[in-house]
Amino acid sequence: NKRADELSNEAMDLHGTGVKPGHMVLGGEDRPQPRAVHPLLATDEPGTVQELPLDPAPSAPSTAARWTGATSTPTRLILLRHGQTEMSAQKLYAGHSDAPLTELGEQQVRAAAQRIAAGLDGEGFYGAQHIDAIVASPLSRAQRSAEILADTIEGPAVETAECLREMDFGDWDGLSFADAHARDPQLH
Active-site residue, from 23, 82, 106, 181: 82
Q: Is 82 a catalytic residue?
A: yes
C-beta neighbour count of 9 within 10 angstroms: 14
Share the mean pLDDT of the chain: 77
Active-site residue, from 159, 166, 181, 188: 166
Per-residue model confidence as pLDDT tens digits over 112-171: 999 999 888 766 666 667 888 999 999 999 999 999 999 999 989 999 999 999 999 999
Q: Is 45 a catalytic residue?
A: no
Q: Is the pLDDT of residue 84 over 90?
A: yes
- Nearby residues of 13 by Cβ (< 8 Å), 6 or more positions away: 46, 47
Domain ranges of the chain: 2-41, 73-182
Q: Is the pLDDT of residue 23 over 70?
A: no
Give the class (CATH, top level) of 73-182. Answer: alpha beta
